[in-house]
Amino acid sequence: MAKKFLYLNRKAPYGTVYALESLEVVLIAAAFEQEVSLAFLDDGVYQIAKGQTPKAVGMKNFSPTYNALGDYGITKLYVERESLVERGLTEDDLMPIVYEDEDDDYTEKPSVQVISRTEMAKIMAEQDVTFSF
């Protein structure tokens, strides 16, 4: 039986390697057909920020890869609203990541769901396995 896997992302990208490592592990895990969700909270909300341009700091922009997650069956990206607000951000600052719903004539649907801290706590409690980055 498929288990519920949560990838917990709490760090801004580029300053440390956590964000990139998390994304790579998520892509590997996608091959095992588990029920995968990603959570972005605290500084982790910056991982899916729009307009990332790390060329001048000499790093590769890996943010377009989040758009490919839908093709791997990863369609649940939870973002904590309080974490956005504390940082002066809104949902408009996030990439509009979508997936094609194969049960609904491949209609494009948003993968990103902005939820409250209380809802995030519930999602954490529902998981079988949590990977922290």
Partner 1 sequence: MAMLHIVNKSPFERNALKSCLAHALSGDAVLLIEDAVIGVVSGSTLVTELQQAMNGNAVKLYALSPDLAARGVKAERVLEGIQLVDYAGFVDLTVANEKTQSWL
* CA atoms of 67 and 112, how far apart (whole Å): 11
Looking at 87, 115, 119, 123, which residue binds partner 1 (CB under 8 A)? Answer: 87
Contact assessment for residue 80 and residue 123, using Cβ atoms and an 8 Å cutoff: no
Segment (H or E) for 119: helix 117-126
Residue 72 Cβ vs partner 1, minimum distance, rounded to whole Å: 23
Looking at 40, 46, 78, 133, which residue binds partner 1 (CB under 8 A)? Answer: 46
Residue 54 Cβ vs partner 1, minimum distance, rounded to whole Å: 4
CB atoms within 10 A of CB 74: 24
Segment (H or E) for 24: helix 18-29
Residue 99 Cβ vs partner 1, minimum distance, rounded to whole Å: 22
Between 89 and 124, whose beta carbon lies closer to partner 1?
89
Contacts of 88 (CB under 8 A, 6+ apart): none
Amino acid at 93: D
Between 28 and 56, whose beta carbon lies closer to partner 1?
56
Site for partner 1 in 94-133 (CB under 8 A): none
Interface residue list for partner 1 (CB under 8 A): 11-16, 42-43, 46, 49-57, 59, 63, 86-89, 93
